Amino acid sequence: MSLTISVASGKGGTGKTLVATALTRILADQCPLIIDTDVEEPNAALFLPVSNLQVEPVHRLLPVIDDDMCTYCGICAEVCEFGALTVLPQQVLVFPELCHSCGACAGLCPERAISEENSLIGQVETGSINGMGQLVAGRLNIGESLSPPVIKAAKKKQAGADLTIIDCPPGTTCPMIEAVRDSDYCLLVTEPTPFGKHDLALALEACKLLGVEAGIIINRWQGEDNGIIDLAERFGTPILGYIPFSFELAKAYAQGQDPLKAMPELGGVLERVFRQIKESRS
């Protein structure tokens, strides 16, 4: 039975990439696939020995107006819910940053004067992690706004993998939803601060909406939970593990070094987390 675990958080900087890449390391014998869907800031590859990187472009469709066929009737602008088209007496203006590539303008133009052309918005990188499986990372081009199409393209590379770990973007809106959707389990990484707690509540809510089972791992643990245990109980979500606060770990991780060497007990923590996730699935 295949298993897909997404690693998400709500708040940024809680340690999603640390957990996702360290999990990949300890599960190396199962040849996992790690997908970095934090396409605005893809960093997973910085923390794993990746080689043979292949790059594929990601496009999305944008409307192109044929001036010879256009009668400037204004229907395209009328049907665009996103305000991405404006029709002037002799010209149609397209605002790519507002376009959602839904195709309504092209499909509903009575003159068939609108076609759609590919526009480059990012790339998907695929590589092998030396002795540890595969890595796929989406990367949004700088200046582009829409990350979900790049996340979708990265996730399409999942086909056939037995064990997939998804490193998710922060937040709880469309990019995070796109990343966590269809996972078997969502591992939420939080920190025991009021910020961590506030954003964890939103992430738990998002998992509920998606119908994805969730578990919590508390990072930078120093013995004070700041209300996180209460919050977890309220949602009926288990706390699967604690990663102690450690300057050594922070320093090693900052340099892209193997966190399991800087904090030997991290491996045990993550193995127990993984075992609990497996048990909850059976």
Which of 89, 142, 236, 279 is close enough to bind another protein by CB under 8 A? 142
Q: Is 119 in the site for another protein (CB under 8 A)?
A: no
Local structure of residue 36 (DSSP, 8 states): E
Please classify residue 59 by burial: count the beta carbons closer than 10 Å to its beta carbon, then call 0-12 exposed, 13-18 middle and 19+ buried: middle
* Residue 95, number of CB atoms within 10 A of its CB: 13
**Buried b / exposed e along 219-228 (16+ C-beta atoms within 10 A):** bbbeeebbbb
Positive or negative CA dihedral for 168, 169, 175, 177? positive
Minimum CB distance to another protein smaller for 170 or for 241: 170
Tokens 């665009």 correspond to 80
Separation of alpha carbons 216 and 229, rounded Å:
10
Binding-site size, another protein (CB under 8 A): 59
- Rule CB under 8 A: which of 160-179 touch another protein? 169-175, 177
Minimum CB distance to another protein smaller for 101 or for 237: 101
Separation of alpha carbons 38 and 188, rounded Å:
15
Q: Is 11 in the site for another protein (CB under 8 A)?
A: yes
Q: Is 248 in the site for another protein (CB under 8 A)?
A: no
- Rule CB under 8 A: which of 78-117 touch another protein? 79, 81-82, 97, 100-104, 107-108
The two structure tokens encoding residue 74: 């204004």
Q: Select the span of 123-131, 188-196, 233-241, 267-275 touching another protein (CB under 8 A).
A: 188-196
Minimum CB distance to another protein smaller for 50 or for 163: 50
Q: Residues interacting with another protein, by CB under 8 A?
A: 10-14, 17, 39-41, 43, 46-47, 79, 81-82, 97, 100-104, 107-108, 140, 142-147, 169-175, 177, 181, 191, 193-195, 198-199, 202-203, 205-206, 209-210, 226, 247, 250-251, 253-256
